[in-house]
């Protein structure tokens, strides 16, 4: 089938032809959908578990501890054991909960996560959907998840859940604006919303280097707003343990709770992947203008490795935020968004437009 670790487009094309030879076009489509769906589900389960393990280890390192060490070598099997425990737990439902909505909510959160993952370019040719409005699509579907959170809080018939869900709603609606505007800054520079084009135009220099200071400001704002949008880090007041027990998923147990948990970590991956794709050159290797030999060495590292290296770097940064900063109050969160991030963002867009107009960028 022609497996090439630097370019997957040939492989996927050959696979498509191979299926077409053997079955009807409809059956081919169904088989391909199934393969893609299963691989996404596997990726979400395995990478989610890995992220939970990584979070525990990184958190421990920030607090001068070791983290899980007993299950498996350096605790590697810890999250798998936790997951098996969650699978075997009883699904408890509050007596006066709204049964339909209560059961629906975890799936909405999970579906939003899967939808957002569909457009991420993992490597050259390794992208499920390549819309010409890719970035717009990600910002649109990533805000569907908040509906699931609101439904979960509402249907649980628990005041803590409801308060957590409402806080989460107010927070995500506000920070959606900052995420979109910081992406708009880069769209101005890239001239396209198609993610493959965005990655391709970073071949000579990543946008964070290309766009000078405006791109750097946009990157920082994107990281802050993205952290807030995943209900993480210093912005986790939707599930503030000390105030709301666990926030919107207080009443959930077993696999439904695992869905929320997994969705939260995969959302962090999506934010990191978007930051990587839009600001840090996606799967493109690091290139410095005219250092030919350096560029060749960098080219030798496969795109998948580049992508995941950058994503894990951004995830480490997000975890660094979480384990350093204290949680913000509700009014502080809204002040930060509406009084600081939004005006800075608007001025930043103006600056970026000037940079692009005067062709000041690299």
69 contacts another protein (rule: CB under 8 A): yes
For another protein, the binding residue among 17, 30, 66, 92 (CB under 8 A) is 66
Q: Which residue number, 65 or 85, has a Cβ lying nearer to another protein? A: 65
Least Å from the CB of residue 24 to another protein: 55
74 contacts another protein (rule: CB under 8 A): no
What would you report as the CA-atom Rg of the chain, rounded to the nearest whole angstrom?
Answer: 21
Cβ–Cβ contacts within 10 Å for residue 170, how many? Answer: 17
344 contacts another protein (rule: CB under 8 A): yes
338 contacts another protein (rule: CB under 8 A): no
Q: Which residue number, 50 or 74, has a Cβ lying nearer to another protein? A: 74
Q: Which residue number, 6 or 323, has a Cβ lying nearer to another protein? A: 323
For another protein, the binding residue among 23, 61, 296, 305 (CB under 8 A) is 61
In the structure encoding, which two tokens stand for residue 197, read together? 């084009």
- Between the two ends of the chain, the Cα-to-Cα distance in Å is 39
Query: Rounded CA gap, 176 and 142, in Å?
Result: 9
Burial of 63 (0-12, 13-18, 19+ CB in 10 A): exposed
Q: Which residue number, 27 or 346, has a Cβ lying nearer to another protein? A: 346
For another protein, the binding residue among 33, 100, 294, 340 (CB under 8 A) is 340
The long-range contacts involving 86-93, CB below 8 angstroms and separated by at least 24 positions, are 86/254, 86/255, 86/257, 86/258, 87/254, 87/255, 87/258, 88/254, 89/253, 89/254, 89/255, 90/253, 90/254, 91/253, 91/254, 91/255, 91/256, 92/251, 92/253, 92/254, 93/251
Q: Which stretch binds another protein (CB under 8 A): 65-73, 95-103, 171-179, 289-297?
A: 65-73
Q: Which residue number, 53 or 261, has a Cβ lying nearer to another protein? A: 53
323 contacts another protein (rule: CB under 8 A): yes
18 contacts another protein (rule: CB under 8 A): no
Q: Nearest-CA neighbor of 53 among 42, 67, 40? A: 67
For another protein, the binding residue among 4, 34, 63, 332 (CB under 8 A) is 63
136 contacts another protein (rule: CB under 8 A): no
71 contacts another protein (rule: CB under 8 A): no
In the structure encoding, which two tokens stand for residue 36, read together? 């893609």
For another protein, the binding residue among 18, 62, 107, 288 (CB under 8 A) is 62
Q: Which residue number, 15 or 71, has a Cβ lying nearer to another protein? A: 71
Burial of 358 (0-12, 13-18, 19+ CB in 10 A): exposed
Q: Which stretch binds another protein (CB under 8 A): 24-32, 250-258, 289-297, 320-328?
A: 320-328
Q: Which residue has the tokens 């795109």?
A: 303
Q: Which stretch binds another protein (CB under 8 A): 182-190, 265-273, 287-295, 323-331?
A: 323-331
**Residues near another protein (CB under 8 A), total:** 16
Query: Rounded CA gap, 359 and 23, in Å?
Result: 52
Query: Rounded CA gap, 219 and 179, in Å?
Result: 10
Q: Which stretch binds another protein (CB under 8 A): 58-66, 76-84, 170-178, 238-246?
A: 58-66
Q: Which stretch binds another protein (CB under 8 A): 152-160, 161-169, 203-211, 315-323?
A: 315-323
Binding site for another protein (CB under 8 A): 58, 60-66, 69, 320-321, 323-325, 340, 344
């Amino acid at each position: 089938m022609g497996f090439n670790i630097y370019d997957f487009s040939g492989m996927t094309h050959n696979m498509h032809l191979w299926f077409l030879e053997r079955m009807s076009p409809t059956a081919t489509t169904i088989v391909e959908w199934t393969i893609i769906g299963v691989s996404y589900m596997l990726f979400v389960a395995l990478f989610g578990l890995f992220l939970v393990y990584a979070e525990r280890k990184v958190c421990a390192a920030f607090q001068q501890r070791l983290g899980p060490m007993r299950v498996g070598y350096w605790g590697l099997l810890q999250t798998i054991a936790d997951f098996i425990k969650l699978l075997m737990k009883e699904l408890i439902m509050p007596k006066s909960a709204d049964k339909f909505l209560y059961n629906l909510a975890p799936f909405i959160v999970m579906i939003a996560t899967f939808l957002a993952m569909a457009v991420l370019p993992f490597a050259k040719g390794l992208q499920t959907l390549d819309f010409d409005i890719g970035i717009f699509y990600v910002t649109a579907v990533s805000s569907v998840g908040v509906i699931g959170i609101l439904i979960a809080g509402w249907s649980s018939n628990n005041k803590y859940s409801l308060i957590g869900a409402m806080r989460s709603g107010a927070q995500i609606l506000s920070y959606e604006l900052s995420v979109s505007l910081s992406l708009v800054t880069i769209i101005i520079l890239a001239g396209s919303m198609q993610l493959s084009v965005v990655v391709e135009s970073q071949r000579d220099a990543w946008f964070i280097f290309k766009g000078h200071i405006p791109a750097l400001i946009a990157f920082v704002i994107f990281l802050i707003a993205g952290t807030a949008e995943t209900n993480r880090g210093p912005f986790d007041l939707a599930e503030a343990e000390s105030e709301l027990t666990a926030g919107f998923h207080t009443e959930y147990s077993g696999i439904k709770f695992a869905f929320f948990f997994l969705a939260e970590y995969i959302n962090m991956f999506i934010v990191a992947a978007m930051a990587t794709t839009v600001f840090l050159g996606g799967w493109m290797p690091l290139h410095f203008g005219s250092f030919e030999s350096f560029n060749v060495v960098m080219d030798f590292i496969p795109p998948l490795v580049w992508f995941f290296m950058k994503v894990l770097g951004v995830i480490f940064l997000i975890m660094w935020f979480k384990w350093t900063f204290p949680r913000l109050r509700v009014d502080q969160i809204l002040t930060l968004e509406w009084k600081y991030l939004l005006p800075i963002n608007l001025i930043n867009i103006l600056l970026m437009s000037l940079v692009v107009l005067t062709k000041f960028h690299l």
